[in-house]
Chain A
Amino acid sequence: MTNNTQDKRLVLAKELVVALESNDEAKVEQLSDELTGFKESMLFQEVGRLTRQLHDTMGNFSGDAKLTEIAENDIPDAKERLQYVISMTEQAANQTLNVVEELMPVSQDLNERANRLSENWQRFLVKKMPFDEFKSMSHEITEHFNHSVESLDKIQTGMNEVLLAQGFQDITGQIIRKVIDLVQNLEDNMVDLVRVSGAKLVTEKNNTELDLPGPVVPNVDDKNGDVATSQDDVDDLLSSLGF
Protein backbone atom coordinates (compact mmCIF):
# COMPACT_ATOMS: atom_id res chain seq x y z
CA MET A 1 0.00 0.00 0.00
CA THR A 2 1.42 3.38 -0.97
CA ASN A 3 2.00 6.25 1.45
CA ASN A 4 -0.15 8.37 -0.78
CA THR A 5 -3.15 6.10 -0.24
CA GLN A 6 -2.46 5.99 3.47
CA ASP A 7 -2.32 9.81 3.66
CA LYS A 8 -5.54 10.18 1.73
CA ARG A 9 -7.30 7.69 3.97
CA LEU A 10 -6.00 9.44 7.09
CA VAL A 11 -7.33 12.75 5.81
CA LEU A 12 -10.68 11.12 5.02
CA ALA A 13 -10.83 9.45 8.45
CA LYS A 14 -10.11 12.71 10.25
CA GLU A 15 -12.84 14.46 8.22
CA LEU A 16 -15.17 11.54 9.05
CA VAL A 17 -14.53 12.02 12.82
CA VAL A 18 -15.31 15.75 12.48
CA ALA A 19 -18.51 14.98 10.52
CA LEU A 20 -19.63 12.39 13.08
CA GLU A 21 -19.00 14.78 15.97
CA SER A 22 -20.98 17.48 14.21
CA ASN A 23 -23.77 15.00 13.34
CA ASP A 24 -23.48 15.81 9.63
CA GLU A 25 -25.14 12.64 8.28
CA ALA A 26 -24.77 13.54 4.63
CA LYS A 27 -21.06 14.19 5.04
CA VAL A 28 -20.61 10.93 7.05
CA GLU A 29 -22.23 8.94 4.23
CA GLN A 30 -20.14 10.58 1.54
CA LEU A 31 -16.88 10.03 3.44
CA SER A 32 -17.72 6.38 4.27
CA ASP A 33 -18.39 5.73 0.58
CA GLU A 34 -15.08 7.25 -0.35
CA LEU A 35 -13.24 5.09 2.18
CA THR A 36 -14.95 1.87 0.99
CA GLY A 37 -14.13 2.93 -2.54
CA PHE A 38 -10.45 2.71 -1.69
CA LYS A 39 -10.90 -0.80 -0.45
CA GLU A 40 -12.87 -1.84 -3.55
CA SER A 41 -10.36 -0.44 -5.99
CA MET A 42 -7.62 -2.38 -4.18
CA LEU A 43 -9.70 -5.55 -4.47
CA PHE A 44 -10.21 -4.93 -8.19
CA GLN A 45 -6.49 -4.42 -8.63
CA GLU A 46 -5.76 -7.70 -6.85
CA VAL A 47 -8.34 -9.60 -8.95
CA GLY A 48 -6.83 -8.05 -12.05
CA ARG A 49 -3.35 -9.11 -11.01
CA LEU A 50 -4.47 -12.68 -10.33
CA THR A 51 -6.30 -12.85 -13.65
CA ARG A 52 -3.21 -11.70 -15.51
CA GLN A 53 -1.09 -14.21 -13.63
CA LEU A 54 -3.48 -17.02 -14.50
CA HIS A 55 -3.51 -15.95 -18.11
CA ASP A 56 0.30 -15.84 -18.28
CA THR A 57 0.55 -19.17 -16.57
CA MET A 58 -1.84 -20.80 -19.01
CA GLY A 59 0.06 -19.20 -21.88
CA ASN A 60 3.43 -20.39 -20.63
CA PHE A 61 2.04 -23.75 -19.88
CA SER A 62 0.52 -24.48 -23.26
CA GLY A 63 3.65 -23.16 -24.92
CA ASP A 64 6.11 -25.17 -22.88
CA ALA A 65 4.62 -28.33 -21.62
CA LYS A 66 3.18 -29.92 -24.74
CA LEU A 67 0.51 -31.61 -22.61
CA THR A 68 -2.09 -30.93 -25.27
CA GLU A 69 -0.01 -32.67 -27.85
CA ILE A 70 0.44 -35.63 -25.54
CA ALA A 71 -3.28 -35.86 -24.91
CA GLU A 72 -4.26 -35.40 -28.55
CA ASN A 73 -1.63 -37.46 -30.34
CA ASP A 74 0.68 -39.42 -28.12
CA ILE A 75 -1.87 -41.14 -25.91
CA PRO A 76 -3.97 -42.46 -28.81
CA ASP A 77 -0.68 -43.45 -30.51
CA ALA A 78 0.41 -45.30 -27.40
CA LYS A 79 -2.87 -47.19 -27.30
CA GLU A 80 -2.41 -48.20 -30.92
CA ARG A 81 1.18 -49.23 -30.19
CA LEU A 82 0.18 -51.40 -27.24
CA GLN A 83 -2.60 -52.92 -29.33
CA TYR A 84 0.05 -53.82 -31.88
CA VAL A 85 2.14 -55.42 -29.14
CA ILE A 86 -0.83 -57.61 -28.23
CA SER A 87 -1.37 -58.65 -31.82
CA MET A 88 2.34 -59.34 -32.39
CA THR A 89 2.66 -61.48 -29.27
CA GLU A 90 -0.54 -63.30 -30.18
CA GLN A 91 0.74 -63.93 -33.68
CA ALA A 92 4.06 -65.25 -32.36
CA ALA A 93 2.31 -67.51 -29.85
CA ASN A 94 -0.01 -68.91 -32.51
CA GLN A 95 2.83 -69.41 -34.96
CA THR A 96 4.79 -71.33 -32.34
CA LEU A 97 1.80 -73.38 -31.19
CA ASN A 98 0.88 -74.26 -34.78
CA VAL A 99 4.34 -75.62 -35.45
CA VAL A 100 4.37 -77.57 -32.19
CA GLU A 101 0.95 -79.07 -32.89
CA GLU A 102 2.03 -79.98 -36.39
CA LEU A 103 5.30 -81.56 -35.33
CA MET A 104 4.17 -83.47 -32.23
CA PRO A 105 2.57 -86.29 -34.30
CA VAL A 106 5.59 -86.34 -36.63
CA SER A 107 8.03 -86.98 -33.80
CA GLN A 108 5.60 -89.39 -32.13
CA ASP A 109 5.38 -91.39 -35.33
CA LEU A 110 9.19 -91.45 -35.66
CA ASN A 111 9.45 -92.63 -32.08
CA GLU A 112 6.96 -95.49 -32.60
CA ARG A 113 8.62 -96.67 -35.79
CA ALA A 114 12.07 -96.60 -34.19
CA ASN A 115 10.83 -98.55 -31.19
CA ARG A 116 9.15 -101.21 -33.35
CA LEU A 117 12.25 -101.61 -35.51
CA SER A 118 14.50 -101.70 -32.49
CA GLU A 119 12.49 -104.59 -30.98
CA ASN A 120 12.66 -106.56 -34.21
CA TRP A 121 16.33 -105.77 -34.58
CA GLN A 122 17.02 -107.18 -31.11
CA ARG A 123 15.19 -110.40 -32.08
CA PHE A 124 17.30 -110.58 -35.22
CA LEU A 125 20.52 -110.12 -33.21
CA VAL A 126 19.69 -113.03 -30.92
CA LYS A 127 18.82 -115.03 -34.05
CA LYS A 128 15.18 -115.48 -33.20
CA MET A 129 13.86 -114.20 -36.50
CA PRO A 130 12.68 -116.39 -39.38
CA PHE A 131 14.12 -115.45 -42.79
CA ASP A 132 10.78 -114.28 -44.23
CA GLU A 133 10.33 -111.88 -41.35
CA PHE A 134 13.89 -110.62 -41.83
CA LYS A 135 13.10 -109.81 -45.44
CA SER A 136 10.09 -107.80 -44.45
CA MET A 137 12.11 -106.07 -41.70
CA SER A 138 14.85 -104.96 -44.07
CA HIS A 139 12.17 -103.57 -46.31
CA GLU A 140 10.75 -101.74 -43.33
CA ILE A 141 14.19 -100.38 -42.40
CA THR A 142 14.67 -98.92 -45.90
CA GLU A 143 11.27 -97.33 -45.67
CA HIS A 144 12.12 -95.99 -42.20
CA PHE A 145 15.25 -94.26 -43.48
CA ASN A 146 13.32 -92.50 -46.23
CA HIS A 147 10.55 -91.60 -43.87
CA SER A 148 13.00 -90.29 -41.23
CA VAL A 149 14.71 -87.95 -43.68
CA GLU A 150 11.35 -86.53 -44.68
CA SER A 151 10.15 -86.14 -41.08
CA LEU A 152 13.39 -84.63 -39.87
CA ASP A 153 13.27 -82.10 -42.71
CA LYS A 154 9.79 -81.16 -41.53
CA ILE A 155 11.04 -80.81 -37.96
CA GLN A 156 14.00 -78.70 -39.11
CA THR A 157 11.70 -76.35 -41.04
CA GLY A 158 9.34 -76.12 -38.09
CA MET A 159 12.13 -75.28 -35.68
CA ASN A 160 13.29 -72.49 -37.96
CA GLU A 161 9.74 -71.13 -37.95
CA VAL A 162 9.64 -71.23 -34.14
CA LEU A 163 13.02 -69.52 -34.06
CA LEU A 164 11.85 -66.69 -36.31
CA ALA A 165 8.62 -66.27 -34.37
CA GLN A 166 10.69 -65.19 -31.36
CA GLY A 167 11.59 -61.98 -33.19
CA PHE A 168 8.49 -60.44 -31.62
CA GLN A 169 10.43 -59.98 -28.38
CA ASP A 170 12.77 -57.45 -29.96
CA ILE A 171 10.04 -55.56 -31.86
CA THR A 172 7.57 -55.41 -28.98
CA GLY A 173 10.39 -54.54 -26.58
CA GLN A 174 11.23 -51.50 -28.68
CA ILE A 175 7.58 -50.46 -28.90
CA ILE A 176 7.03 -50.82 -25.16
CA ARG A 177 10.17 -48.78 -24.48
CA LYS A 178 8.61 -45.99 -26.53
CA VAL A 179 5.42 -46.12 -24.47
CA ILE A 180 7.49 -46.04 -21.26
CA ASP A 181 9.20 -42.90 -22.60
CA LEU A 182 5.79 -41.38 -23.25
CA VAL A 183 4.62 -42.15 -19.71
CA GLN A 184 7.84 -40.60 -18.39
CA ASN A 185 7.26 -37.54 -20.55
CA LEU A 186 3.68 -37.28 -19.33
CA GLU A 187 4.84 -37.52 -15.74
CA ASP A 188 7.45 -34.79 -16.27
CA ASN A 189 4.81 -32.55 -17.80
CA MET A 190 2.39 -33.15 -14.95
CA VAL A 191 5.14 -32.20 -12.49
CA ASP A 192 5.78 -29.08 -14.54
CA LEU A 193 2.07 -28.26 -14.42
CA VAL A 194 2.07 -28.50 -10.65
CA ARG A 195 5.20 -26.39 -10.39
CA VAL A 196 4.02 -23.74 -12.87
CA SER A 197 0.59 -23.32 -11.34
CA GLY A 198 1.94 -23.50 -7.79
CA ALA A 199 4.88 -21.13 -7.82
CA LYS A 200 4.58 -19.54 -11.24
CA LEU A 201 7.94 -20.87 -12.26
CA VAL A 202 8.51 -20.94 -15.97
CA THR A 203 10.16 -24.27 -16.65
CA GLU A 204 12.72 -25.00 -19.27
CA LYS A 205 11.38 -26.70 -22.34
CA ASN A 206 12.42 -30.35 -22.59
CA ASN A 207 15.24 -30.70 -25.05
CA THR A 208 14.06 -32.84 -27.92
CA GLU A 209 16.93 -35.07 -28.92
CA LEU A 210 16.82 -36.84 -32.25
CA ASP A 211 14.85 -40.03 -31.66
CA LEU A 212 15.04 -43.09 -33.80
CA PRO A 213 11.52 -43.90 -34.98
CA GLY A 214 11.89 -47.65 -34.35
CA PRO A 215 9.46 -50.36 -35.48
CA VAL A 216 6.70 -49.25 -37.81
CA VAL A 217 3.35 -49.67 -36.05
CA PRO A 218 0.56 -49.98 -38.65
CA ASN A 219 -1.89 -47.04 -38.65
CA VAL A 220 0.48 -44.98 -36.49
CA ASP A 221 3.86 -44.68 -38.13
CA ASP A 222 2.90 -45.30 -41.75
CA LYS A 223 0.41 -42.43 -42.04
CA ASN A 224 2.80 -40.09 -43.88
CA GLY A 225 3.91 -42.65 -46.40
CA ASP A 226 7.57 -42.00 -45.60
CA VAL A 227 8.31 -45.48 -44.31
CA ALA A 228 9.08 -48.75 -45.98
CA THR A 229 6.34 -51.17 -44.99
CA SER A 230 7.94 -54.28 -46.45
CA GLN A 231 11.29 -55.69 -47.46
CA ASP A 232 10.20 -55.17 -51.10
CA ASP A 233 9.85 -51.43 -50.38
CA VAL A 234 13.38 -51.39 -48.98
CA ASP A 235 14.74 -53.32 -51.97
CA ASP A 236 12.96 -50.99 -54.43
CA LEU A 237 14.33 -47.92 -52.68
CA LEU A 238 17.86 -49.30 -52.57
CA SER A 239 17.78 -50.39 -56.19
CA SER A 240 16.58 -46.91 -57.14
CA LEU A 241 19.76 -45.70 -55.43
CA GLY A 242 21.83 -47.99 -57.60
CA PHE A 243 22.19 -50.92 -55.20
Chain B
Amino acid sequence: MKILVVDDFSTMRRIVKNLLKDLGFTNMVEADDGKTALPILQAGGIDFLVTDWNMPGMTGIDLLTAVRADPNLANLPVLMVTAEAKREQIILAAQAGVNGYVIKPFTAGTLKEKIEKIFERIEA
Protein backbone atom coordinates (compact mmCIF):
# COMPACT_ATOMS: atom_id res chain seq x y z
CA MET B 1 0.00 0.00 0.00
CA LYS B 2 1.63 3.22 -1.19
CA ILE B 3 0.26 6.49 0.19
CA LEU B 4 0.74 10.04 -1.12
CA VAL B 5 0.56 12.75 1.55
CA VAL B 6 -0.05 16.28 0.22
CA ASP B 7 0.22 19.38 2.44
CA ASP B 8 2.03 22.69 2.01
CA PHE B 9 3.20 22.64 5.65
CA SER B 10 6.09 20.20 6.07
CA THR B 11 5.32 19.85 9.80
CA MET B 12 1.84 18.57 8.97
CA ARG B 13 3.24 16.15 6.39
CA ARG B 14 5.59 14.78 9.04
CA ILE B 15 2.75 14.43 11.53
CA VAL B 16 0.48 12.61 9.09
CA LYS B 17 3.33 10.37 7.91
CA ASN B 18 4.27 9.45 11.46
CA LEU B 19 0.67 8.71 12.40
CA LEU B 20 0.28 6.54 9.30
CA LYS B 21 3.51 4.75 10.19
CA ASP B 22 2.07 4.08 13.63
CA LEU B 23 -0.99 2.59 11.92
CA GLY B 24 1.26 0.20 10.02
CA PHE B 25 1.72 2.03 6.72
CA THR B 26 5.35 2.33 5.75
CA ASN B 27 5.36 3.14 2.04
CA MET B 28 4.74 6.86 1.71
CA VAL B 29 5.60 9.71 -0.62
CA GLU B 30 4.86 13.41 -0.16
CA ALA B 31 4.07 16.50 -2.19
CA ASP B 32 3.58 20.12 -1.16
CA ASP B 33 0.61 21.01 -3.37
CA GLY B 34 -1.71 19.68 -6.07
CA LYS B 35 0.62 20.72 -8.84
CA THR B 36 3.46 18.53 -7.58
CA ALA B 37 1.08 15.78 -6.47
CA LEU B 38 -0.68 15.23 -9.78
CA PRO B 39 2.38 14.02 -11.77
CA ILE B 40 3.23 11.60 -8.93
CA LEU B 41 -0.33 10.24 -9.07
CA GLN B 42 -0.31 10.05 -12.86
CA ALA B 43 2.97 8.13 -12.79
CA GLY B 44 0.98 5.37 -11.07
CA GLY B 45 1.52 3.12 -8.08
CA ILE B 46 -0.27 5.27 -5.48
CA ASP B 47 -3.06 3.42 -3.63
CA PHE B 48 -4.30 6.12 -1.30
CA LEU B 49 -4.24 9.92 -1.31
CA VAL B 50 -4.27 12.07 1.82
CA THR B 51 -4.52 15.77 0.97
CA ASP B 52 -4.90 19.18 2.53
CA TRP B 53 -7.30 21.67 0.91
CA ASN B 54 -5.75 25.14 1.16
CA MET B 55 -2.44 25.07 -0.68
CA PRO B 56 -0.76 27.53 -3.02
CA GLY B 57 -0.39 26.51 -6.66
CA MET B 58 -3.14 23.92 -6.80
CA THR B 59 -5.61 23.36 -3.98
CA GLY B 60 -6.70 20.00 -2.66
CA ILE B 61 -10.21 20.35 -4.05
CA ASP B 62 -8.79 21.02 -7.53
CA LEU B 63 -6.52 18.02 -7.09
CA LEU B 64 -9.52 15.89 -6.10
CA THR B 65 -11.46 17.09 -9.15
CA ALA B 66 -8.48 16.32 -11.41
CA VAL B 67 -8.14 12.85 -9.86
CA ARG B 68 -11.82 12.03 -10.38
CA ALA B 69 -11.63 13.30 -13.98
CA ASP B 70 -8.68 11.03 -14.82
CA PRO B 71 -9.89 7.54 -15.86
CA ASN B 72 -6.76 5.94 -14.40
CA LEU B 73 -7.23 7.61 -11.02
CA ALA B 74 -11.01 7.98 -10.77
CA ASN B 75 -11.35 5.21 -8.17
CA LEU B 76 -8.41 6.25 -5.99
CA PRO B 77 -9.51 6.63 -2.36
CA VAL B 78 -9.00 10.22 -1.18
CA LEU B 79 -8.99 11.45 2.41
CA MET B 80 -9.07 15.19 2.93
CA VAL B 81 -7.33 16.47 6.07
CA THR B 82 -7.93 20.21 6.30
CA ALA B 83 -8.67 23.21 8.48
CA GLU B 84 -11.46 24.24 6.10
CA ALA B 85 -14.63 23.72 8.09
CA LYS B 86 -17.39 25.68 6.35
CA ARG B 87 -20.44 23.52 5.76
CA GLU B 88 -20.57 24.53 2.10
CA GLN B 89 -16.94 23.45 1.70
CA ILE B 90 -17.57 20.03 3.23
CA ILE B 91 -20.55 19.60 0.92
CA LEU B 92 -18.42 20.73 -2.04
CA ALA B 93 -15.76 18.13 -1.18
CA ALA B 94 -18.43 15.44 -0.83
CA GLN B 95 -19.84 16.37 -4.23
CA ALA B 96 -16.35 16.31 -5.73
CA GLY B 97 -16.10 12.70 -4.60
CA VAL B 98 -13.99 12.73 -1.43
CA ASN B 99 -13.96 9.46 0.55
CA GLY B 100 -13.34 10.96 3.96
CA TYR B 101 -13.03 14.40 5.56
CA VAL B 102 -11.02 15.16 8.69
CA ILE B 103 -10.76 18.66 10.12
CA LYS B 104 -7.61 19.97 11.76
CA PRO B 105 -6.67 19.83 14.55
CA PHE B 106 -7.40 16.11 14.63
CA THR B 107 -6.53 13.14 16.81
CA ALA B 108 -4.72 9.95 15.91
CA GLY B 109 -7.96 8.12 16.67
CA THR B 110 -9.97 10.17 14.17
CA LEU B 111 -7.43 9.61 11.41
CA LYS B 112 -7.34 5.88 12.12
CA GLU B 113 -11.14 5.63 12.19
CA LYS B 114 -11.59 7.46 8.86
CA ILE B 115 -8.90 5.44 7.10
CA GLU B 116 -10.34 2.16 8.35
CA LYS B 117 -13.82 3.23 7.25
CA ILE B 118 -12.57 4.10 3.76
CA PHE B 119 -10.92 0.70 3.30
CA GLU B 120 -13.88 -1.14 4.81
CA ARG B 121 -16.13 0.48 2.22
CA ILE B 122 -13.74 -0.32 -0.62
CA GLU B 123 -13.46 -3.95 0.38
CA ALA B 124 -17.22 -4.31 0.83
Contact = CB atoms under 8 A, between A and B. Distances in A.
Given A163-B18, A163-B19, A164-B107, A241 B91 contact: yes
B36 to A, nearest CB: 18
A23 interface: no
A76 interface: no
Contacts of A163: 15, 18-19
Contacts of B101: 234, 238
Contacts of B18: 160, 163
B94 A166 contact: no
7 contacts: A163-B19, A164-B19, A170-B83, A171-B104, A174-B54, A216-B83, A243-B94
Q: Which of the four size classes fits the interface of chain A?
A: 20 to 34
Contact of B83 (A169, A214, A243): A214
Interface of A: 160, 163-164, 166-171, 173-174, 212-216, 226-231, 233-234, 237-238, 241, 243
Given A213-B84, A227-B86, A227-B87, A241 B15 contact: no
Interface stretch (B6-14, B24-32, B67-75): B6-14
B93 to A, nearest CB: 9
A231 B103 contact: yes
Interface of B: 7, 9, 11-12, 14-15, 18-19, 22, 53-54, 59, 83-91, 94, 101-108, 110
B59 A173 contact: no
A212 B11 contact: no
Given A170-B7, A231-B103, A241-B94, A164 B83 contact: no
A169 B11 contact: yes
Contacts of A237: 87, 90-91
Contacts of A234: 85, 90, 101-103
Contact of B104 (A160, A170, A212, A243): A170
B90 A215 contact: no
Given A226-B87, A234-B101, A170 B94 contact: no
Contacts of A212: 53-54, 59, 84, 89
